[in-house]
Chains A and B, each alone.
Chain A
Amino acid sequence: MKNVMGIINLMEDEEFLKEISHHRPAAAVPFGGRYRMIDFVLSNMVNSGIRNVGIIVQHKYRALMDHLGNGKEWDLDRKRDGLFYLPPGQGCQQGSYRWDLRHFHTHLDYLQYSRQKYILISGSNMICNIDYRDAFQFHQAMNADITILYKDMENTGEDLSRCHMVETAEDGRIIDLEINPNKMRGSKMSMEMCIMEKSLLVELIHRCYSRGECDLVRDGFIRNLNRLRIYGFPYQGYLAHIDSIQSYYNHSMELLRPEIWQQLFFDKGLIITKVKDGAPTKYSKGSRVHNALIANGCIIEGTVENSIIFRGVKIGQGAHIKDSIIMQKCKIEEGALVENVIADKEVTITKGKHLKGEKNYPMVIMKKTVI
């Protein structure tokens, strides 16, 4: 994989996570007790042997830079290659959308200076633990121009209306690709991850740009389905596709299943995140914890049930947390009752307050709110 570079594209509609993505890009949204969404794709790339990663960032990326820094935790603080931030170019701020080619066009220099022959492009909201080497081998074995990773979502009951759907022939070649289709014909969801030669990407960028076309997926891929050999690589492992508060909540709760915990956090490699040097979590004599994921640095004196507790949370005596996601440094004071709630960082729920959302409509509390 020495010959592959990675691009993580964070151009996305950030309203879908409502309050928790108000002040940060979706990629920096906390997930799984101690991670940010971007940790998964970045760790997967590093664990697969990729040593050069560029991140196309939108506005509001301070939280992201704070988290990733110079990439040291991921071993990407390198003399050559390493981690690169690719900020929006002039005029790209307004009216840009997810696979807008202008963002790639702005950073053609970075693409061309990089020494790798191949490029792997991904978003950050498909959470999984994948070894990209398998997909890369497939790409070479198929002699493909482009390989798109997909996951068969049959019988998962997931809402696929905001996805890219692919249809493949028997040999794996993609014969159709639809963006947000109205009517579902198949169940193969594109993971919005693809592999190709860098020279082909550069060619597509120039080709589209000069014709006034502007979308990598629509103008670059779909229009070239016949001209280029585009293949689909089926991913078999666990996948959490996060595109709404509801899917964020549901997939978070799935982590309470030990087999999924094991698969997502250990399977192909460890998911890396920024280290906080917190002490181990302390359980008091009277604490009661059942079916919960709990990160370091917490002090738990109350009851926690079916919940995800991030780093540095304090839960007072007699407080009861149920079916909730409590992010970093929240304080749940004595006797408070919290059910079906997503509390962003540093929220305080004062003594004796009762807060209750619904399972299919969890209550979201903004960062630093005191209730």
Chain B
Amino acid sequence: MQSKECVAMLLAGGQGSRLGVLTKKLAKPAVPFGGKYRIIDFTLSNCNNSGFDTVGVLTQYQPLALNTYIGIGSHWDLDRKNGGVTVLPPFVKEMGGEWYKGTANAIYQNIEFVDQYRPKYLLVLSGDHIYKMDYSLMLDFHKEKQADATIAVIEVPWEEASSFGIINIARDARIIDFEEKPAVPKSNLASMGVYIFNWELLKKYLEEDEQNPRSSNDFGKNIIPMMLKVGQRMYAYPFKGYWRDVGTIESLWQANMDLLSDKPKLNLNDPKWTIYSVNPNHPPQYIAPTARVTGSLVNEGCMVYGEVNHSILFPGVYIGEGAKINDAVIMPNAKIGANTVIERAIIGVEAVIEDRCQVGCLDEACGRCSEPCSRITVVEGNIVVAGGSVLKSCSLAKNELTVRSS
């Protein structure tokens, strides 16, 4: 096989349990985002746009939808004769098999895959972040610093810093230390989960880590600290731009809402950096005479008869007459009945909400809480909510809903 300078490995096996019902039957990278995309589209499109044409996608949790979606990678122009996309699930070996025990173990189990291309560098990505990034610039930086490993970092607000992997750097961007979710962060530079390693060196560490039964086989917890301790040349590559971890309901909802500002920080209309996705080939959206659509993103195949404000409609969504949708994310093919009111909510794929329902906290006279609560109501995909139902986030455990009508 033709050798490649750099191979990308995309970690897409995460369950994303904090997304609750949204990831019940779906791996987190396959969760719909932004009215058209799935989360993994951003990373795959970044690969193509950066000129990286060899990508291994490591899947594990609920892979069916994700595997079908990725296919042979043609939607991202990654169906190549040499390289392209390869989906890599865990597999059984001569001496039995096992699940991917951690991010580092997932790469360890696929050393043979990477070795086929005899790469000098390995790019490790995670499939659950929303951002546009040119990885080729990071690789240039890595070479320029003659680094053994480079970690992409972004400045986050100090008050949120303790929920990230925090990196401390010297003046020349060399990494001094790395702390996973520190209680008292020493810096506000967060690791983006994007790493470049010199492959031959990384292999040694992966093999060493594998020998340690107490290791959790994780890049952040084990491999990076181990390399730092020995004094390998580790550098932080500063990324400036929009980057979001959408691992929770709140952050997923907020990142969607970010797209609705007048000049969103993440520009989806940039012809130089197209975000590719699988296109369901629906006709143009139909906006009826009774409809009113403002401050929203709407996709093809939608039929809108009601009012939609500051919301995101995925393909094939139907909004009935008299319905009022506000601050909501409505996923593909969901049907919203007439005169139903939805506020601050995420409606799952193909959910049906019948007429005259109320979803989300709308008023102060709720009885359960003294003021409209800011929590987001999530309606599971593929369920039917019977006409006239009232669903408020404050009445739902863990922001989840699994009401089924008869």
- What are 10 A-B contacts defined by CB distance under 8 Å? A34-B284, A280-B35, A280-B268, A280-B299, A283-B293, A283-B294, A289-B287, A289-B292, A294-B284, A297-B269
Interface residues of A in 34-51 (CB under 8 A from B): 34
CB closest chain-A residue, reference B269: A279
| CB of A212 within 8 Å of the partner chain | no
A348 to B275, CA, bound (A): 26
Check A290 against B287 for contact (C-beta < 8 Å). Answer: yes
**The residue from A270, A277, A299 contacting B282, defined by CB atoms under 8 A apart:** A270
Contacts of A34 in B (CB 8 A): 283-284, 300
Check A295 against B287 for contact (C-beta < 8 Å). Answer: no
| CB of B34 within 8 Å of the partner chain | yes
- From known contacts A289-B291, A297-B269, infer whether A281 and B281 are also in contact, taking CB-CB under 8 Å: no
| CB of B262 within 8 Å of the partner chain | yes
| CB of A286 within 8 Å of the partner chain | yes
**The residue from A266, A290, A299, A308 contacting B284, defined by CB atoms under 8 A apart:** A308
A256 to B303, CA, bound (A): 11
**The residue from A258, A265, A287, A308 contacting B293, defined by CB atoms under 8 A apart:** A287
- Encoded as 1 (CB less than 8 Å from any B CB) or 0, chain A from 246 to 265 comes to 00000000001010010011
| CB of A316 within 8 Å of the partner chain | no
Check B283 against A279 for contact (C-beta < 8 Å). Answer: no
| CB of A285 within 8 Å of the partner chain | yes
A352 to B284, CA, bound (A): 27
* Residues in chain B within 8 A of chain A (CB atoms): 34-36, 74, 262, 268-269, 274-277, 279, 281-289, 291-300, 303, 312-313
Check A261 against B287 for contact (C-beta < 8 Å). Answer: no
A293 to B285, CA, bound (A): 6
Chain A interface size, under 10 / 10 to 19 / 20 to 34 / 35 or more: 35 or more
Check B291 against A290 for contact (C-beta < 8 Å). Answer: yes
Check B279 against A293 for contact (C-beta < 8 Å). Answer: no
- From known contacts A280-B36, A294-B284, A297-B269, infer whether A287 and B294 are also in contact, taking CB-CB under 8 Å: yes
Check A277 against B275 for contact (C-beta < 8 Å). Answer: yes
Contacts of B300 in A (CB 8 A): 34, 295-296
**The residue from A258, A270, A297, A304 contacting B286, defined by CB atoms under 8 A apart:** A258
Contacts of A288 in B (CB 8 A): 292
Contacts of B298 in A (CB 8 A): 280-281, 283, 294
Check A281 against B297 for contact (C-beta < 8 Å). Answer: yes
Most buried by A among B268, B277, B283: B283
- From known contacts A258-B303, A287-B293, A287-B294, infer whether A280 and B312 are also in contact, taking CB-CB under 8 Å: yes
CB closest chain-B residue, reference A39: B281
Check A293 against B295 for contact (C-beta < 8 Å). Answer: no
A89 to B285, CA, bound (A): 42
A135 to B274, CA, bound (A): 42
* Residues in chain A within 8 A of chain B (CB atoms): 32-34, 72, 256, 258, 261, 264-266, 270-273, 275, 277-297, 299, 304, 308-310
Check B286 against A273 for contact (C-beta < 8 Å). Answer: no
Check A291 against B289 for contact (C-beta < 8 Å). Answer: yes
A294 to B300, CA, bound (A): 8
B84 shortest CB reach to chain A, Å: 15
CB closest chain-B residue, reference A33: B284
Contacts of A261 in B (CB 8 A): 283, 286
A310 to B291, CA, bound (A): 19
A334 shortest CB reach to chain B, Å: 15
Contacts of B279 in A (CB 8 A): 275, 277
A309 to B275, CA, bound (A): 22
B10 shortest CB reach to chain A, Å: 20
Check A275 against B281 for contact (C-beta < 8 Å). Answer: yes
A275 to B275, CA, bound (A): 13
B364 shortest CB reach to chain A, Å: 25
A273 to B301, CA, bound (A): 14
A282 to B308, CA, bound (A): 12
CB closest chain-B residue, reference A309: B284
CB closest chain-A residue, reference B77: A277
B311 shortest CB reach to chain A, Å: 10
A107 to B237, CA, bound (A): 60
A299 to B279, CA, bound (A): 19
Check A294 against B295 for contact (C-beta < 8 Å). Answer: no
New A-B pairs, 11, CB < 8 Å, besides A280-B34, A295-B284: A272-B281, A280-B35, A283-B294, A284-B295, A289-B287, A290-B288, A293-B286, A294-B287, A294-B298, A295-B300, A297-B269
A297 to B34, CA, bound (A): 13
B277 shortest CB reach to chain A, Å: 7
Contacts of A295 in B (CB 8 A): 284-285, 300
Check A277 against B276 for contact (C-beta < 8 Å). Answer: yes
Contacts of A294 in B (CB 8 A): 284-285, 287, 298
